[in-house]
Structure 1
Amino acid sequence: MSETTRNVRPVTANVGREGAGELVSSRYAVRVGDVDVVLISDGVLPLPTSTMSTNVSEADRNEWFDGRFLQRDMFDWALNIALVRSDDRLILIDSGVGDGFEYFTRAGRSVMRLESAGIDLAAITDIVITHMHMDHVGGLNVAGVRAKLRPDVRIHVSAKEVEFWKNPDFSKTVMPETVPPALRKAAAKFVELYGENIVQFDQTVEVAKGVSARVTGGHTPGHCVVDVASNGEKLTFVGDAIFQVNFDHPDWQNGFEHDPEGAADVRVALLNEAAETGALLAAAHVAFPSIGHIAKKDKGFHFVPVVWDY
């Protein structure tokens, strides 16, 4: 692999004039029936490649990363959030990593990118948190964000998730040692800031017309996905249930999964569901904009990205 390939970086330079802004698109919109869905990139998280495949050999892992012209040791993990409009409800799904982590300098863009897209944070009526890892609640923890949100914003989090983070169990995870303390801190701060706004649910909750959250567990005990269904069309935002490597290897476990075996079962069920129904799928950690269809292929699956409509 050439050093040129290894050193590719996102284009963020200004062209033509000072302050020209980002050259690379950070949002992508689709319409699901009568519901608008926008995927927004929070940036990328540099992480060890070993976290993507804790139950396979280094050789197998290297073969997969080599085949995609990616480095063997570290790679850029996409981080996406979503915004959904249904009738008069504007729903944010997750919030990105925020700004409290010096080792994630190329993420934490979600609030800035929402505002640059003309989204007034005060217009958000509901927030769905797929799970309380720091890269999903961190954006809400940024100083000043709470004051910009409406006082009565509803934040939907599964009851199992809220309970889990009172005393989280990391015994089955394989994370860099700096991560568990950061996860605990971010979750605790989120509850401290937004406890009065958190609306807990058990298995499913209808957030708005055609928009519902359902608990899958696996990645965390209360992890949920968000289904958008309207006029016979469907899109599921699967949060951290599926990662880029899992289309080829759904059984490969992720170091951030609190129940690795359960997470693999959830993953296969969601992939089969999407393949059988033809629904669109989007994810927090699949390459932006992460929207596509799922087709079955050999023992795994094939991700078919949407053709950009521009």
Structure 2
Amino acid sequence: MNLDNTAHTGGPETDELIPSRYAIRVGEIDVLVVSDGVLSLPTATMATNADPSVRAAWLDNMFLPPDAFDWPLNVVAVRSGSQTTLIDAGLGMEYPDFPRAGRLVQRLRAAGIDLASVTDVVLTHMHMDHVGGLLVEGVRDRLCPDLRIHAAAAEVEFWAFPDFSRTSMPSPVPGVLWSVAQRFSNEYRSQLRPFQAEYEVAPGVVRRTGGHTPGHSVVRLASAGGAVFPVGFDHPDWHNGFEHDPEEAARVRIRLLRELAETEESLVAPHLPFPSVGRVAVAGDVFRWVSAFWDY
């Protein structure tokens, strides 16, 4: 697996003029953050319990447009010894409303990562922007037949009959989420390795937190799942429209941010701006995101 940060030339798929992968090293472990692109979503979904004027002021203060924002999608590839693990799998290619996302497969290839070398996939949860990359035509045939896919048992069970009653998602997203989750479960059922509360997948430990979805999980080492969004540092109590239990998601978010501030461990998150590598600091009653300096 090539963890080089430099651009690779030679073909249209590798000649992108934007950075799409970033390599870091944690001890003896190679970590590669890969951008799957961005989704354009209405700003109302980022803070459904906030006063619209307060939300607008925050967006203006962050130099962000008032109506829609780019929701980053990041995937993490981790190599430790003979194991290569993907943490989440991106969106996939079936969504014309999101033309700037679903780039994971081509960007893994550009980074020199052969799908056949992937031994494990850890799913932080089963929203379509975290499992869709495995449903791209031809991907399953290129994956190792012994591939292990790790997800919380509560997450797998939830998507059999999901509850969207407390979400505030744009229509028709709930139906699409359910359809994609069912398709994923059907196609990869034999390779799923559900766990209960905590499970070790070299080189990290997967821990179920709940909140964002009932089986939402974090990986100690590389990823914080979908619990942390850019607005979550300044307003960790704001509810995201995609959270199935908004109050619990806020509690999980605050707990994780406090833990990260205390331990000073690095954080990589799927929905922070690429490459999303940094640390969390406490700033009064809220938190502060401290981006890592880009290492060339």
Equivalent of 2:214, from 218, 221, 244?
221
Note the aligned Cα RMSD (angstroms).
1.3
Please give the TM-score of this superposition, normalised by the length of structure 2: 0.95
- 1:163-178 → structure 2 map (5 Å cutoff): 163-178=157-172
Q: 1:303 to 1:127 in 2, by over 3 A?
A: same
Q: TM-score, normalised by structure 1?
A: 0.91
2:185 pairs with 191, 204, 212, which one? 191
Match of 1:212 in 2: 205
For 2:4, the equivalent position in structure 1 comes to none
User: Percent of aligned pairs with the same residue?
Assistant: 54
Indicate the SS of the match to 2:105: helix
Q: State the secondary structure of the residue aligned to 1:131.
A: coil
Shift of 1:298: 1.5
Distance in 1, matches of 2:57 and 2:30, equals: 39
> C-alpha displacement at 1:18, in angstroms?
8.6
Please say if 1:302 is aligned against 2:288: yes
Q: Give the aligned residue type for 1:186.
A: V
Aligned partner of 1:152 in structure 2 is 146
Residue identity in the other structure for 1:135: D
Secondary structure of the 1:237 match is coil
Instruction: After superposition, give the CA deviation of every residue in 1:161-198 in whole Å (9 maximum; x if it has no partner).
Output: 00000000000000001100110111011111110000
Alignment match of 1:33 (pick from 19, 27, 34): 27
Q: CA deviation at 1:17?
A: 10
Unaligned runs of 5+ in 1: 1-15, 229-235
Does structure 1 residue 268 correspond to structure 2 residue 254? yes
5+ long unaligned stretches in structure 2: 1-8
The 1-side partners of 2:70 and 2:264 are apart by: 29
Once the two structures are TM-superposed, the CA of residue 266 in structure 1 deviates from its matched residue by: 0.3
The 2-side partners of 1:116 and 1:212 are apart by 28
Q: 1:221 Cα deviation (Å)?
A: 0.3
The 2-side partners of 1:197 and 1:124 are apart by 13
CA distance in 2, matches of 1:142, 1:107: 13
Task: Work out the number of aligned pairs and report it.
Answer: 287
Offset of residue 308 of structure 1: 0.5
Q: Which residue of 1 aligns with 2:134?
A: 140
Structure 2 match to 1:58: 52
2:240 matches 1:254: yes
